[in-house]
A and B are shown apart, each in its own frame.
Chain A
Amino acid sequence: MKTLPIESGLLLAGVLFTLGLISVLVRRNIIFMLISVEIMLNAAGLAFIVAGSRWAQADGQVMFIFILTMAAAEVSVGLALILQIYHHLKTLDSDAADRMNG
């Protein structure tokens, strides 16, 4: 089996991470912001898997499973909060959820 060079794997992860980063900054809908953050987290997970395969260790995959679990916990709390916000504001625009400033 031909192995891919580690750089290309990390590059892919980096591109994914940047895409997530840009869309978190550009998007105004809270659900899309949450999805973008998930993309960033998964990009980090992918980078861990690539790094693990470079050293032929299971650690990278272990870390990925932890990231997956944490992302699930985070999304469940996040969606509950988003529902709550929708009840209050009737919109998911993040600019509307900005009543505190100073």
Chain B
Amino acid sequence: MTIYDMISLAPLWILSSAAILIFFSISIKRNHKVIFVITVLSLMADFAFVSTYSIHHLHSIEPLLVIDGFGVFNIGLILLTTLVVTLISYAYFEQREERKEEYYILMILAALGAIMLVISKHFVSLFLGLEILSVSLYALIAYLRKRERSDEAGIKYLILAAFSSAFLLFGMALVYATTGSMEFAGIAAWITRAHEMPVMVITGFGMMIVGIGFKLGIVPFHMWAPDVYEGSPAPVTAFIATVSKGGMIALLVRFFNTLNGYQYTTFMLVFTILAIASMFIGNILALRQNNVKRLLAYSSIAHLGYVLVAFLAGEKLGMEAVIFYLVAYFITTLGAFGILATLSDKDRDAELLEDYRGLLWKRPLTAIVFSAMLLSLAGIPLTAGFVGKFYVIAAGIHTHRWLLVIILVINSVIGLYYYIKLIAVMFDQKQEPRPSQDLHPLVYIVSSVTMAILVLSLFWIGVNPEGMMTLIRSVL
């Protein structure tokens, strides 16, 4: 490893040293505020460092990692998302009695794993990144130990994640046994030479799709999503819905493009079926949910289906659409779960539909922000979600994937129903005094400013998407 390699890996170094620093500072004294500030500063410093990379930065650390424009963009996205999750976590954990400091270590490590995932170009780094992310998530999901359902959600996620990791690993082993390479480029070269794919490689890729599909939470590997969303603390749910899924999508895009998987009709067929099933089942199951967290879980299954449409469209426009949709989806999901976290009280999360009844009259600003986020999820014009969906449809039409585009449009209409239902509940008139919160007002300022920034960027991207589009185009 040269000095230049070391410098290129600075985003990883900064995060791992921040985790160690927090570790030591906890052993000296437990102070939630100090730990929070260290976490925020290190994430900001890391983002500042990453943003100094030029757009055409290309540096590979053989054989494991490659840091290119695509990777840098995703690292930046992951860091900003983690920052927002940390900011909304502060008020959420401040009102709880449990030990809250270790939470930030786990959060940083999970971000580290996701970053490793998006810059990997080798099975070993893929596996390492994925597992750093997953093992941190097991602990994060079950973090609120006194809460009844968190251990159940944790063990469900653990068993299923390990189960799917085993599939992924066995698939990798089969591919390695046949091709003799664990590097994406090496596998691609072997497949090009072989002309025809042997059964073992197809089986291997099939098993890998099971592992990847689980992480993405697409149908039929979605069973864990509602339970885990419901059982974990609201900020952790936001993290799972964004960083964990987005990192995997970025990896899938890189892997598929290196392999040039678009020429294999089998894979395209499999992903088409997965996308259609995710859109329909996600949206239809969301219709009958009364729990807002479960509703958002099913809605995120459907949204991953939309992302897959853009992914299947392929070519440059498809990749742009994938990234743009991810950005829009990240902002919206963070906003929605951020509101959920701010409304939660000491004992439980604000997850029932009843918690939102008449919210507009009790906390008008919160209700308006939440409505904006839901409208963006539904894809109403002027929001980022609309531009994202528009982009996906444009990409789909560009490569003539009419079936997928039509199904996407049908599903957008189905989705509209449950988002509007939730908004209607908030507009419902029902006066009832809410128990007042007794935290220091400063705590809420952090959350409010974060929410304000999210809403602003939601509308900014929705009204004026050119800036983001140019940025995405230049990194690809």
Contact = CB atoms under 8 A, between A and B. Distances in A.
B177 A100 contact: no
Contacts of B165: 41, 70
Contact of B152 (A63, A67, A73, A100): A100
Given A17-B170, A66-B127, A37 B230 contact: no
Interface string A46-66: 011011101101011011001
A70 B131 contact: yes
A77 to B, nearest CB: 5
B182 interface: yes
B152 A102 contact: no
B107 to A, nearest CB: 16
A98 B177 contact: no
Contacts of B289: 102
A41 B169 contact: yes
Highest count of chain B CB atoms <10 Å: which of A57, A71, A74: A74
A48 B176 contact: yes
B138 A10 contact: no
Interface string B152-163: 111110110011
Given A47-B174, A62-B124, A74 B151 contact: no
B9 to A, nearest CB: 19
Given A44-B166, A60-B176, A85 B135 contact: no
Interface string A89-102: 00000000111111
Contact of A37 (B124, B162, B177, B294): B162
Contacts of A40: 162-163, 166-167, 170
A18 B174 CA distance: 15
A97 B176 CA distance: 38
Given A74-B158, A102-B289, A59 B174 contact: no
A99 B149 CA distance: 7
Contact of A43 (B131, B134, B170): B170
Contacts of A88: 148, 151
Contacts of A54: 177, 180
A74 B142 CA distance: 14
Interface string B457-476: 00000000000000000000
Interface string B122-158: 0110011001001100110010010011011111101
Given A10-B177, A50-B177, A81-B142, A41 B166 contact: yes
Nearest to A46: B173
A84 B154 CA distance: 10
A59 B179 CA distance: 13
A102 B288 CA distance: 9
B227 interface: yes
Interface residues of B, number: 43
A102 B291 contact: yes
B368 to A, nearest CB: 29
Nearest to A85: B151
Contact of B170 (A44, A74, A98): A44
B158 A44 contact: no
Contacts of A73: 131, 135
Nearest to A50: B177
A62 to B, nearest CB: 7
Contacts of B134: 74
A54 B176 CA distance: 10
A84 B142 contact: yes
Interface in B350-382: none
A63 B124 contact: yes
16 contacts: A33-B159, A37-B159, A37-B163, A41-B166, A47-B170, A47-B173, A60-B173, A71-B162, A74-B138, A77-B139, A78-B158, A81-B138, A99-B148, A100-B226, A102-B226, A102-B291
Given A33-B159, A45-B169, A84-B151, 18 more contacts: A24-B159, A37-B162, A37-B163, A44-B166, A44-B170, A47-B169, A47-B173, A48-B176, A51-B173, A54-B177, A59-B176, A59-B182, A62-B124, A66-B127, A81-B151, A98-B152, A99-B149, A102-B226
